[in-house]
């Protein structure tokens, strides 16, 4: 596709669109459930979409992506990883467009005073004055490249987190966790490795959620995974997480949350908006449908997530290192552009 031709009508590649729809159907039907896979799938679909779609400049591309993102996030409101990846990609489009422009300007102003131009760049480089509509031949390639970087980061996030386990887990510690988190599993496996070096296996006791409080006093640390980290540092985690975090607070046990950066959402939680926050699923885990006439007489509610407020969390261990809940806003700010928060 040559860029010298008259402007194209921005258009999403229909194949890529179809792939996205297929992915949505799979998400709906629960064929893909781990948020790592969701994030990875979304990113590679986006890469595919960007490389095959038609657009003239960064602005048009961003519009395409953000309409698509809006559609997708409305269809699967509870899977925040999808929206996060859309926003990450939008941010990198912005950055690439800006840096291309910067280099072009720099090229133009080469004859001008070196110092002046640097100062100029310093002042205005990240400013809003960037013209995103300027066409550029490098744009597509640069964006694909930076999405590739995001993908690599995603793939390595698990390892990166697990690698930090030695700093946080010491010998003879009792650790409590909840649910089934891939990240936490990798984290503890790293620990297992460390322990096996000291010729010591991990004793595991499975307890019910009703025994959390009773057991908490014997626990040194609580390590949990999460579905999403909200922008204020609160967690959207599997139900029971609030209970465990509350019990930990009472016993002054530190709560450590293992999470990769793709789980950080730029959204805040608001209590009235259960729809986009929680996911209420079929109540058959609570009571069997075949249990008879009682089913029609009661209301059964089976929410998937708990909201854990940031003050109950001690530390986040991310693939970029450990951060405190109060610092989450900063990380979010780095990852997403404020204009992209609402798709």
Partner 1 sequence: MASTKAGHHGGGKGKKKAAGGDETWTTEDILQAVIIGDSFNFRFLPVTHEKPRTLLPLVNRPLLDYTIDFLLHAGVQDIFVYCCAHCDQITAHMQQKIRSLKHCCNIKTMKSDRALSLGDALRDIENQAVIKSDFILVSGDLVSNMKLQKALEEHKQRRKNDKMSVMTMILKESAPGHRSRCSEEDMIAAIDPKNNRLLHYQMTRNHTKVSFPASIFLENRGVHLRYDLLDCHVSICSPQVTQLFTDNFDYQTIYDFIRGILISEEITGHQIHTYTVTDEYAVRVSNLHMYDAVSKDVIHRWSYPLVPDEKHTSKEESYTISQPNIYLGAVNVILARSCVLSEDVVIGSHCSVGEGTQIKSSVIGNGCKIGNNVIIKDSYVWNNVIIDDDCCIINSLLCDDCRIKRKVNINSGCLLSFGVVIGPDVTLEENSRFSCQKPKPKHLMENDNTTGIGTEQNEEAEDIPNYDRAILGPEGIGYVWQPELFNDYMEDERGSLHSEDSDSDSAANGFEIDDEDQFHSEVSESIRQGFADKTPAENIIYELNGSKFAYNRTVADVAQSVVLAIMDGPSSSSAKADNNSYLSYYKEVFSYYKTLIENYAKTASCQIGCLEAIEDYCLENSTVFHLIQKILLMLYNLDIIEELPIQRWFTNLPPESDETLSQRKRLRELVQPFISWLNEAEEESSEDDE
Among positions 108, 288, 330, 333, the unique one binding partner 1 when judged by CB under 8 A: 288
Stretch that binds partner 1, among 184-192, 228-236, 274-282, 306-314 (CB under 8 A): 274-282
Nearer to partner 1, 208 or 290 (CB): 290
Stretch that binds partner 1, among 134-142, 241-249, 262-270, 293-301 (CB under 8 A): 293-301
- The beta-strand segments (E) located in 101-220 are 175-176
Nearer to partner 1, 17 or 249 (CB): 17
CB 277 within 8 A of CB 305: yes
Q: Any contact of residue 302 with partner 1 (CB under 8 A)?
A: yes
Among positions 156, 289, 326, 330, the unique one binding partner 1 when judged by CB under 8 A: 289
Among positions 1, 2, 9, 29, the unique one binding partner 1 when judged by CB under 8 A: 29
- Would you state the structure tokens that stand for residue 152, as one six-digit string? 């690599």
Of 156, 172, 179, nearest to 257 by C-alpha is: 179
For the segment 118-147, give every residue that binds partner 1 (CB under 8 A). none
Nearer to partner 1, 33 or 156 (CB): 33
Task: Sheet with 235-238: list strands edge to edge.
Answer: 228-229, 235-238, 305-308
Q: Any contact of residue 180 with partner 1 (CB under 8 A)?
A: no
Nearer to partner 1, 31 or 333 (CB): 31
Minimum CB separation of residue 303 from partner 1 in Å reads 10
Of 163, 167, 168, 173, nearest to 256 by C-alpha is: 168
The Cα–Cα gap between 15 and 36 comes to 24
Beta-bridge partner residues of 222: 176, 255
In angstroms, how far is CA 186 from the centroid of its own chain? Answer: 18
The Cα–Cα gap between 139 and 54 comes to 12
Minimum CB separation of residue 250 from partner 1 in Å reads 28
- Would you state the structure tokens that stand for residue 197, as one six-digit string? 């070096």
Q: Which residues bind partner 1 (CB under 8 A)?
A: 17-19, 21-22, 25-26, 28-34, 37, 71, 74-75, 274-275, 280-284, 288-293, 295-296, 299-302
């Amino acid at each position: 596709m040559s860029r010298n031709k008259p402007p194209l009508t921005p258009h999403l590649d229909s194949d890529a669109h179809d792939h996205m729809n297929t992915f949505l159907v799979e998400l709906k039907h629960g064929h893909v459930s781990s948020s790592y896979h969701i994030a990875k799938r979304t990113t590679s679909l986006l890469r595919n979409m960007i490389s095959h779609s038609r657009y003239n400049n960064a602005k048009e591309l961003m519009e395409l992506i953000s309409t698509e993102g809006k559609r997708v996030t409305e269809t699967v409101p509870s899977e925040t990883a999808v929206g996060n990846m859309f926003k990450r990609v939008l941010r990198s489009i912005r950055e690439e467009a800006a840096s291309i422009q910067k280099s072009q300007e720099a090229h133009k102003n080469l004859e001008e005073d070196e110092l002046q131009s640097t100062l100029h760049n310093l002042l205005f480089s990240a400013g809003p004055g960037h013209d995103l509509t300027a066409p550029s031949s490098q744009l597509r390639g640069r964006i694909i490249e930076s999405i590739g970087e995001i993908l690599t980061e995603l793939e390595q996030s698990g390892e990166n987190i697990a690698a930090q386990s030695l700093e946080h887990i010491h010998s003879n510690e009792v650790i409590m966790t909840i649910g089934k988190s891939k990240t936490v599993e990798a984290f503890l496996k790293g620990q297992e490795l460390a322990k096996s070096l000291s010729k010591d296996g991990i004793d595991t006791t499975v307890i019910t959620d009703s025994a959390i409080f009773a057991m908490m006093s014997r626990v040194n640390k609580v390590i949990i995974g999460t579905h999403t980290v909200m922008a204020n540092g609160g967690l959207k985690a599997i139900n029971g997480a609030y209970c465990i975090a509350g019990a930990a607070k009472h016993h002054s046990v530190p709560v450590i949350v293992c999470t990769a950066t793709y789980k950080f959402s730029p959204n805040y939680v608001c209590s009235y908006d259960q729809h986009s926050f929680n996911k209420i699923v079929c109540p058959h885990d609570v009571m069997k449908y075949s249990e008879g006439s009682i089913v029609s007489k009661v209301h059964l509610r089976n929410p998937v997530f708990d909201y854990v407020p940031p003050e109950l969390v001690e530390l986040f261990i991310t693939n970029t290192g450990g951060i405190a809940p109060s610092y989450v806003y900063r990380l979010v700010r780095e990852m997403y552009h404020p204009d992209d928060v609402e798709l």
